[in-house]
Amino acid sequence: MKHLAILGSTGSIGKSALDIVKLHPDRFNVRVLTAASNVSLLCRQIETFEPDLVAVIDEQIAGLLAEHLKNRYCPEIVYGQEGYQDAAAYDQADTVLLAMVGAAGLLPALAAIDAKKKIALANKETLVMAGELVMQRARENQVDILPVDSEHSAIFQCLQGQQDKDMTRVFLTASGGPFRNTGQTAFKDLKPADALNHPTWDMGSKITIDSATLMNKGLEVIEAVHLFDLSPSQIEVVIHPQSIVHSMVGFRDGSIIAQMGEPDMKAAISYALSYPHRLDIQVQFPDFFALQSLRFEKPDTTRFPSLTFAFEACTKKGTLPAVMNAANEVAVSAFLGHTIGFPDIFSIISHCMEQHRLIDNPDLSSIIEADQWARETAVAMIES
């Protein structure tokens, strides 16, 4: 029996993880849930899974949650960044699914590592911002970090039974998003509703916009560098519109191993939670006869410069990845709020990266300061 802390339980990854728990109650017990402010859904999750501890974004939401749970089962409720860190380090949980969105996941991730929890990592921003620091902390605490992103789970699965020294290249696949065939001149007229209409995956709003800009793939490049101890030159991004091949690993003898499956995050989530075992999660095999063929294309970095930003950031290292990530978070939020246009996302990220004074080998405080600087710079650009 694994005792789970699910950080980000009301998001798409958290909800899928809880579906897996329902299918296998003999294997999993939910001890901790965290959310931001979706009180109604969180209440239903609390009623179903009866966790010991729940964390929310602030005191006001905590009070609202307690009011909703009056005369019903009510766990201990904590809030804020300290509450999320307490949830990540909760002593009765042994496995932490980090499914929070954005930079907010970094400090809880470090708290879970320091508490020597097994980590199922869906929050790629943790490694984008502070990959070297996080992986070093994990090694010192002998903590396993298992990937939940479908692409990194695919790489992890392809490496089972292989020797790391034989791996020479990783092929990260990307669907290409909803604008794969959209001309650049049309970008200025794109609306959030257009970008949220993903052709193959069902994801939260932030990651769906990141997929539309290809920034999601850029973030995954940086994540792969840290998870698998790669150089940026060993990673190639491949557009694969059907999203059946989740990623591939190339070996020095010219062999390539690919991991395939339906575009359903439950497979990657369940593998991270149950590793080294595989569970029946009621996901079907692809219908290859209906597919007939699998297509692969080169990414267009002229229309989608996010990949260029990401390779620059993970090559120069230091605080630049944190700046890129923070600028992207602010820009995506502004686009979703109809404050800026789709092409402005790229302009804001580029501006922040160009203006930033890089700090090599940063400590945690320097990374957080760089993150805050980028947010302020991005906001100032939007307001101007």
Q: What's the order of all strands across the beta sheet hosting 2-7?
A: 76-79, 53-56, 28-34, 2-7, 95-98, 118-121, 145-147
Answer positive or negative: Cα dihedral of 241, 263, 192, 379: negative
Percent of the chain predicted with pLDDT > 90: 93
For 101-113, b/e burial (b = at least 16 CB within 10 A) is: bbbbbbbbbbbbb
Among residues 151, 149, 167, the alpha carbon closest in space to that of 159 is found at 167
Least confident of 28-42, 52-66, 189-203, 205-219: 189-203
173 in a structural domain: no
**CA dihedral sign of residues 98, 316, 176, 274:** negative
Taken in order 325, 327, 330, 333, the sign of the CA dihedral is negative
User: Mean pLDDT throughout 275-295?
Assistant: 94
Residue 220: name the closest of 170, 271, 164 by CA: 170
pLDDT of residue 305: 97
Query: Residue 4: what are its φ and ψ, rounded to 5°?
Result: -100, 145
Mean pLDDT value of segment 363-377: 97
Would the pLDDT of 13 be above 70? yes
pLDDT at residue 347 greater than cutoff 70: yes
Dihedral over alpha carbons 21, 22, 28, 30 (to 10 degrees) = 80
The two beta strands, 53-56 and 245-251, are: unpaired
CB 345, CB 213: distance < 8 Å: yes
Structure tokens at 135: 């992986």
Beta carbons within 10 angstroms of residue 182's beta carbon: 16
| Structural contact between residues 85 and 107, judged by C-beta atoms closer than 8 angstroms | yes
Residue 242 belongs to a domain = no
- Average pLDDT (105-123) is 97
Number of domains in the chain: 1
The helix or strand, by DSSP H or E, that contains position 28, with its residue range, turns out to be strand 28-34
d(CA 233, CA 324): 19
Tell me which residue range forms the domain holding 17: 2-147
Amino acid, res. 353: M
Inform me whether the pLDDT recorded for 228 exceeds 70: yes
- pLDDT at position 201 over 70: no
Average pLDDT over residues 154-182: 95
65-78: per-residue pLDDT in tens?
999 999 889 999 99
In terms of DSSP H, where are the helices of the chain? 12-23, 39-49, 59-68, 80-88, 106-114, 125-140, 150-158, 192-195, 205-213, 215-227, 266-274, 288-291, 306-316, 320-336, 342-355, 364-383
Residue 112 in domain:
yes
Q: What are phi and psi of 264, to 5 degrees?
A: -135, 120
Residue 198 has pLDDT above 80, yes or no: no
Q: What is the three-class DSSP state of 304? A: coil
| DSSP strand pairing (235-239 vs 245-251) | unpaired
Residue at 266 is within a domain:
no
- What is the CATH number for 104? 3.40.50.720
Question: Does residue 14 lie within any of the structural domains?
Answer: yes
What is the chain's mean pLDDT, rounded?
Answer: 95
Report the C-alpha gap between 33 and 25 in whole angstroms. Answer: 16
Tell whether the model's pLDDT for residue 8 goes beyond 70: yes
Q: At what angle do helices 205-213 and 342-355 cross, to 10 degrees?
A: 80
DSSP label at 33?
E
Say yes or no to pLDDT of 179 above 70: yes
- How much is the pLDDT for 199? 72
For residue 168, the surrounding DSSP H or E stretch is strand 167-174
Q: In terms of Cα–Cα distance, which of 241, 217, 237 is closest to 294?
A: 241
Residue 289 lies in a domain: no
Half-sphere exposure of 20 (CA within 13 A, CB side): 30
Place of tokens 């410069």: 305
Please indicate, yes or no, if residue 357 is contained in any of the structural domains. Answer: no
Q: Does a structural domain hold residue 309?
A: no
Region 146-159 average pLDDT: 96
- At 315, the pLDDT band (50, 70, 90 cuts) reads very high
Structure tokens at 242: 């059907």
